[in-house]
Structure 1
């Protein structure tokens, strides 16, 4: 088919399908004046064969012909042309509107009335040329867009998905409505060995919705690695999304922190469907957590700390998180899958290893071949010990150093690094000193491989000082079905009313050629606690008190409490690997 570039023409091939030889000759002469190479067919069957052999650029098709009429020939030619635009102009003297409509239905692009006019033919050919150029440009742009999306998807997968942990245990259904998903799942281990899981749902779906996943992933991973708490991470993500996202775009989110001792979970729901804590045996819903918080990115500087739920768990229980693409999935009749079917699928999964096996099967059967309107994401987290790394596992395994401590570290010595951090009154309810201290230790002493055990030691001792020394909380409150909820509710209430007291943290780091030691001293202004009974309490598996201090003892060279129990000194020792 000819295309005009300035004053130049590129000549193409034209296929004339006409059983009348006179009409063929007239049209052939007209097309040759346009510079076309002309191929002739006497009927539809011959036209299909010649089209496959010569791949013409334009086809002129008569309707009534022997062996195969123009309708059927057009259908077959369009099928063989595939995505290429090959215009078919019907040759007709008909005035029957139904017959003309049939020409369009089978794929015809225009009509040329008999007898033929060179002026009309020229106008129609040029019109088809313009359409073809537009079609080729569109295909080129679409191909480029697909390539860009493929590259972006690779970047997205590498930056967002690749660093997820515990995927051999976490079961998920992540079904995007297009190449890119507006839903995202992020998982990471905190330095405390607790597991953080975030399921997010951005407004809409596709590439535009997925753009927010990159800053979300960056904030989630960097802050989790540094030891920040869930509410601090979500507040940072919220502020970043509020700054970056356009008005009307936001991210609904479910965030769960799973304690590595499988005592409790800490969970928040921000603008998402209900999430569930499921009993390990009977698939009974133990807890339903509905949304009580704004999605992220709507308002600046939101405070999510008080919106978290603290739930006691048993080993083997399961957590189910899901986006609204599940309940709002439609079947061919336009009916919604809905909340009732969703809950029934959970309850009826007793014969399956995973709840998601039954849920995904029922969802697929319900939706059948109906188009998918939104991204569908469901995450099932089994609360099992195999999901967590062994304490102390790292590039340099943390083993308890058995050699005697040098005398120099037991008294003042100038050759050391020392930090002192003191929090007073209201600062105790606002600040979290542990991530700051861990980052300082890593930057100054280079103890990156010991980040996890040091985080555990500092966190347990600081929380012990704050909870029992300053807030005067009793760990026995954690017992019972709602023990953790009651304990943390009282903790938040007392923190919010706190105006006096202080906690002082002192670190002295001694490095030697063979290794080193850190002396960690934490002192609170409280009355102390009965530290002599913490071993007895921790030996009872039914109690939730004392186990943190027992863990600290297992990681340290020494752990000593001073009377009356408001001051603790821990010595952590390490050997340099060869």
Structure 2
């Protein structure tokens, strides 16, 4: 029977770096018993050349050698190896603690004392092999994790970021601390052409912090598109995050609504650093908006209405939103960038350019190559006409001139859909009927292309009935630097105390193939207002009264008021071109 010889398992290539021939021979014999192919070098310079050409799996390095010693060779080999783990075991008979410490400093992973013991050598080799296997598995898992994060980041960008609007005018500085950012910027147009902007900062950063961005963006975009008010959107996001996020995780946020008439903004700060309204020409800080409300997701059913700031603005002003990653950015010495430097960058910016340009340069010069601890996000929103969209053009249009349709006020036409909604007392304080009505119109009549003008008409007529009819507010309160603040404060106070009064909204929709019209009637229980002098008020561009009604008038075929002024009827006519 033939004799079977058992060959030792091949464990790779071992490099022996030793100037003494005898020591090399002994160590070579021991390593071959362990299944290694052995290559030899007489000094550090030769060792580096062998490493470049043959990529050994383990290196045994003497310290004292001619040409190049072990310290220098080990340091260079570790540099060349990069992320790859190549264990270096120093061969030494030294007992000097400083010399041994230096071996570790230059990249040594272990020591082997002379004279060599096969038992000790075996134990050290097996230990290095276990570490190398662990290192390889870790690298493989890390590589897989990076691939998964890159794929998830693409999905995240498509689902969250790609839907943003007005980015050609909004300037932002978004620097994540890792592949995923825990900061979130969302922008969307409401049917009224108001622009909503949300800047948020989830607890922590990375993938875990970014997970809440998906439900947040979904609620933000869908509710903005349906015409819900900012406080309603925040209410919904807050409750959704409270149900989804684990304890201790939340979303600090800044939310600004830019009115389509560019005369005022509504802004709230929920647990974020101060945000700013900047005057265009002087770069003066007109307002600093500090946090008044809890971050989102901490407690359910938060009413955000009282925490909004309603500020008068002028065209060309700018809104600056920022997360705490900006003021808490560190330089190489650990010093914070701070709020003072932030404000200084704003004040020293050129009014003819973006503030973001100056701020980005100052941040880069300050931080240099210091590690980034947190996500950095700043958003600059210039309050300019180009920021907001015009009425959409396409294969359909609304009709504001020409002859009126025949039998316009007939209730007997066969293709007629009629709907009436009445809100009483406290319902006026809590409900927003316009998104409900718009949804009804779309579901029953399918007028998706006319969503924006219809939303504006309904909103302006309803707000006119509520503010001036039921609440008896005077638009002249809006005049002056703090006019909008005073107006909305009085509005909230009167709404809170409201127990009676009513508003009736009626819709009558007539369709005929590709054309049709809607009769919108809004009637309140108030005493009415002097609608006969309305056009005289609007000719004065410095006054804010009557602008909404004149906007409605520009969108409809006919707008009329009935005595004593508490009932309005608007007729919207359309004709879709095929």
Q: TM-score, normalised by structure 2?
A: 0.96
1:266 maps to which residue? 266
Native 8 Å contact 1:275 1:288 kept in 2? yes
Runs of 4+ off more than 6 Å: none
Native 8 Å contact 2:461 2:568 kept in 1? yes
Q: Do structure 1's residue 362 and structure 2's residue 358 form an aligned pair? A: no
Native 8 Å contact 1:331 1:366 kept in 2? yes
1:251 maps to which residue? 251
Structure 1 residue 463: deviation in Å? Answer: 0.7
Task: Show CA shifts across 1:375-400 (max 9, x none).
Answer: 2211111111111111x215545342
Aligned partner of residue 407 in structure 1, secondary structure: coil
Distance in 1 between the 2:340 and 2:549 partners?
45
- Equivalent positions of 1:281-296 (< 5 A) are 281-296=281-296
Distance in 2 between the 1:437 and 1:41 partners?
85
2:15 maps to which residue? 15
2:3 maps to which residue? none
Native 8 Å contact 2:397 2:575 kept in 1? no
Q: Do structure 1's residue 398 and structure 2's residue 397 form an aligned pair? A: yes
- Equivalent positions of 1:489-508 (< 5 A) are 489-508=489-508
1:407 maps to which residue? 406
Distance in 2 between the 1:451 and 1:8 partners?
79
Native 8 Å contact 2:399 2:575 kept in 1? no
1:432 maps to which residue? 432
Distance in 1 between the 2:101 and 2:477 partners?
80
Distance in 2 between the 1:486 and 1:103 partners?
73
> Which one is further off, 255-264 or 318-327?
318-327
Native 8 Å contact 1:460 1:548 kept in 2? yes
Structure 1 residue 58: deviation in Å? Answer: 1.0
1:165 maps to which residue? 165
Distance in 1 between the 2:177 and 2:553 partners?
51
Task: Show CA shifts across 1:316-368 (max 9, x none).
Answer: 11111111122222222222222222222211214661222222222222223
Structure 1 residue 16: deviation in Å? Answer: 1.3
Distance in 2 between the 1:424 and 1:351 partners?
49
Task: Show CA shifts across 1:17-53 (max 9, x none).
Answer: 1222222111111111111111122222111111111
Native 8 Å contact 1:394 1:449 kept in 2? no
Task: Show CA shifts across 1:456-512 (max 9, x none).
Answer: 000011111111111111111111221111111111111111111111111111111
Distance in 2 between the 1:192 and 1:10 partners?
74
Distance in 2 between the 1:520 and 1:135 partners?
72
Distance in 1 between the 2:333 and 2:513 partners?
74
1:136 maps to which residue? 136
Distance in 2 between the 1:280 and 1:153 partners?
36
Q: 1:351 to 1:533 in 2, by over 3 A?
A: closer
Task: Show CA shifts across 1:88-147 (max 9, x none).
Answer: 111222222222222111111111122222111111111111000100011011111111
- Equivalent positions of 1:147-158 (< 5 A) are 147-158=147-158
> Which one is further off, 567-576 or 223-232?
567-576
Distance in 2 between the 1:125 and 1:350 partners?
65
Distance in 2 between the 1:164 and 1:183 partners?
15
1:419 maps to which residue? 419
Native 8 Å contact 2:182 2:375 kept in 1? yes
Task: Show CA shifts across 1:188-235 (max 9, x none).
Answer: 110000111111111122211111111111100000000000000000
Q: Do structure 1's residue 275 and structure 2's residue 284 form an aligned pair? A: no
1:46 maps to which residue? 46
- Could you list the runs of 5+ residues in structure 1 that have no partner in the other structure? 1-6
- Equivalent positions of 1:170-319 (< 5 A) are 170-319=170-319
1:111 maps to which residue? 111
Distance in 2 between the 1:449 and 1:290 partners?
40
Distance in 2 between the 1:150 and 1:90 partners?
40
1:3 maps to which residue? none
Aligned residues: 571
1:4 maps to which residue? none
Distance in 2 between the 1:8 and 1:63 partners?
30
Distance in 2 between the 1:369 and 1:336 partners?
14
Native 8 Å contact 2:419 2:507 kept in 1? yes
2:4 maps to which residue? none
Distance in 2 between the 1:475 and 1:128 partners?
80
Structure 1 residue 401: deviation in Å? Answer: 5.3
Distance in 2 between the 1:542 and 1:83 partners?
67
2:534 maps to which residue? 534
Aligned partner of residue 300 in structure 1, secondary structure: coil
Native 8 Å contact 1:396 1:449 kept in 2? no
Structure 1 residue 184: deviation in Å? Answer: 1.0
Distance in 2 between the 1:148 and 1:246 partners?
23
Structure 1 residue 539: deviation in Å? Answer: 2.1
Distance in 1 between the 2:378 and 2:344 partners?
15
Distance in 2 between the 1:264 and 1:397 partners?
31
Native 8 Å contact 2:281 2:351 kept in 1? no
1:443 maps to which residue? 443
Distance in 1 between the 2:161 and 2:395 partners?
26
Structure 1 residue 422: deviation in Å? Answer: 0.5
> Which one is further off, 457-466 or 539-548?
539-548
Aligned partner of residue 157 in structure 1, secondary structure: helix
- Equivalent positions of 1:455-470 (< 5 A) are 455-470=455-470
Native 8 Å contact 1:508 1:519 kept in 2? yes
Native 8 Å contact 2:191 2:451 kept in 1? yes
Q: Do structure 1's residue 521 and structure 2's residue 526 form an aligned pair? A: no
Distance in 2 between the 1:536 and 1:8 partners?
103
Q: 1:563 to 1:267 in 2, by over 3 A?
A: same
Structure 1 residue 261: deviation in Å? Answer: 0.8
